[in-house]
Chain A
Amino acid sequence: MAEIRDFKSGRSGEPPREPAPRRLAAIVAGDIAGYSRLMQIDEEGTHNRVKRIERDLIEPSIIEHHGKLVKTTGDGFIAIFDSPVEAVRCSIVIQQNLVGRNASLPTHHWIEYRIGVNLGDVIVEVDDVYGDGVNIASRLEGIADPGQVYISGGIYEQIKHKLVCGYESLGDRKVKNITDPVRVYRVLPDPAAFHRTRKRRENVLIFLLSLTLLIIAGGVLWYMLLQPYGKVGDQASTSVSPPAEQPRAPTLPAPAVKQTAPQPPPAPAQAPAQQQAAPQPQPPPAAKQGEPLPQSASPVAPATSPKTPPASPVREPEMSTLRGGQFAMGGNEEISEKPVHQVTIKPFAIGKFPVSVREWNECAAAKACGFTASGKDEAPITNVSWSDARQYVAWLAEATRKPYRLPTEAEWEYAARGGTQTRYWWGDQFQSGMANCKNCTDIAATEQPTKVGSSKPNPFGLYDMGGGVDQWVEDCWHKNYQGAPADGSAWVESECASHVIRSGSWKNDARYARPSNRDSYDTNVRYPTHGFRVALSP
Chain B
Amino acid sequence: MKIARLIVLSVVLTCPSFAAYPQGKPAPKDALLYFVWPQNGTTIKGGFWCRFGLRNMGVTHAGDNFKNSGHHHLLVDVNDPLEPNEPIPQDKSHLHFGAGQTEARIELPPGKHTLQLVLGDAEHYPFKPPVVSEKITVTIR
Question: Bound state CA distance, A226 and B6, in angstroms?
Answer: 9
Q: Would you call B101 an interface residue if the criterion is a C-beta within 8 Å of the partner chain's C-beta atoms?
A: yes
Cβ–Cβ contact B76 & A4, under 8 A = yes
Interchain CB contact (< 8 A) of A257 among B3, B20, B54: B20
Cβ–Cβ contact B92 & A6, under 8 A = no
Question: Bound state CA distance, A253 and B103, in angstroms?
Answer: 29
Cβ–Cβ contact B36 & A164, under 8 A = yes
Cβ–Cβ contact B90 & A253, under 8 A = no
Q: Would you call A512 an interface residue if the criterion is a C-beta within 8 Å of the partner chain's C-beta atoms?
A: yes
Cβ–Cβ contact A269 & B11, under 8 A = yes
**B residues 28-74 with Cβ under 8 Å of A?**
36-37, 51, 53-54, 57-70
Note all chain B residues with C-beta closer than 8 A to A5: 107
The tally of residues in B whose CB lies under 8 Å from a CB in A reads: 57
Interchain CB contact (< 8 A) of A60 among B3, B17, B20, B99: B99
Q: How many Å from the CB of A380 to the closest CB on chain B? A: 16
Cβ–Cβ contact A2 & B92, under 8 A = yes
Q: Which of A290-298, A341-349, A423-431, A525-533 contacts B (4 or more CB under 8 A)?
A: A525-533
Contact (A251, B64) CB under 8 Å given A93-B101, A522-B98: yes
Q: Would you call B89 an interface residue if the criterion is a C-beta within 8 Å of the partner chain's C-beta atoms?
A: yes
Contact (A525, B95) CB under 8 Å given A1-B77, A103-B68: no
Note all chain A residues with C-beta closer than 8 A to B98: 521-522, 524-525, 527
Question: Bound state CA distance, A528 and B86, in angstroms?
Answer: 10
Q: Would you call B130 an interface residue if the criterion is a C-beta within 8 Å of the partner chain's C-beta atoms?
A: no
Q: How many Å from the CB of A500 to the closest CB on chain B? A: 13
Cβ–Cβ contact B107 & A100, under 8 A = no
Question: Bound state CA distance, A60 and B6, in angstroms?
Answer: 47
Cβ–Cβ contact A527 & B96, under 8 A = yes
Q: Would you call A41 an interface residue if the criterion is a C-beta within 8 Å of the partner chain's C-beta atoms?
A: no
Cβ–Cβ contact B90 & A4, under 8 A = no
Q: Would you call A508 an interface residue if the criterion is a C-beta within 8 Å of the partner chain's C-beta atoms?
A: yes
Q: Would you call B1 an interface residue if the criterion is a C-beta within 8 Å of the partner chain's C-beta atoms?
A: no
The tally of residues in A whose CB lies under 8 Å from a CB in B reads: 66
Q: How many Å from the CB of A253 to the closest CB on chain B? A: 4
Cβ–Cβ contact B58 & A100, under 8 A = yes
Q: Which of A115-123, A235-243, A303-311 contacts B (4 or more CB under 8 A)?
A: A235-243
Cβ–Cβ contact B69 & A100, under 8 A = yes
Question: Bound state CA distance, A512 and B101, in angstroms?
Answer: 25
Q: Would you call A442 an interface residue if the criterion is a C-beta within 8 Å of the partner chain's C-beta atoms?
A: no
Interchain CB contact (< 8 A) of B66 among A56, A103, A507, A521: A103
Nearest to B9 among chain A residues (CB) is A225
Cβ–Cβ contact A232 & B7, under 8 A = yes
Note all chain B residues with C-beta closer than 8 A to A49: none
Q: Would you call A127 an interface residue if the criterion is a C-beta within 8 Å of the partner chain's C-beta atoms?
A: no
Cβ–Cβ contact B10 & A4, under 8 A = no
Nearest to B66 among chain A residues (CB) is A104
Q: Would you call A483 an interface residue if the criterion is a C-beta within 8 Å of the partner chain's C-beta atoms?
A: no
Contact (A268, B15) CB under 8 Å given A93-B101, A100-B58: yes
Q: Would you call A256 an interface residue if the criterion is a C-beta within 8 Å of the partner chain's C-beta atoms?
A: yes
Question: Bound state CA distance, A250 and B18, in angstroms?
Answer: 9
Note all chain B residues with C-beta closer than 8 A to A470: 90
Note all chain B residues with C-beta closer than 8 A to A232: 7
Note all chain B residues with C-beta closer than 8 A to A300: none
Q: Would you call B82 an interface residue if the criterion is a C-beta within 8 Å of the partner chain's C-beta atoms?
A: no
Q: How many Å from the CB of B85 to the closest CB on chain A? A: 12
Question: Bound state CA distance, A102 and B64, in angstroms?
Answer: 11
Q: Would you call A519 an interface residue if the criterion is a C-beta within 8 Å of the partner chain's C-beta atoms?
A: yes
Note all chain B residues with C-beta closer than 8 A to A7: 105, 107
Q: Would you call A202 an interface residue if the criterion is a C-beta within 8 Å of the partner chain's C-beta atoms?
A: no
Q: Return 6 A-B CB contacts under 8 Å, by A number.
A: A1-B93, A97-B60, A100-B61, A272-B18, A519-B91, A526-B63
What are the 8 A-B residue pairs with the smallest beta carbon separation, nearest first?
Answer: A250-B65, A100-B58, A100-B60, A525-B98, A104-B66, A100-B69, A253-B20, A99-B58
- Additional pairs, 15, CB under 8 Å, beyond known A103-B60, A225-B6: A6-B104, A7-B105, A96-B102, A99-B59, A100-B70, A101-B60, A104-B68, A164-B36, A164-B51, A239-B18, A250-B20, A512-B91, A519-B91, A522-B97, A526-B63
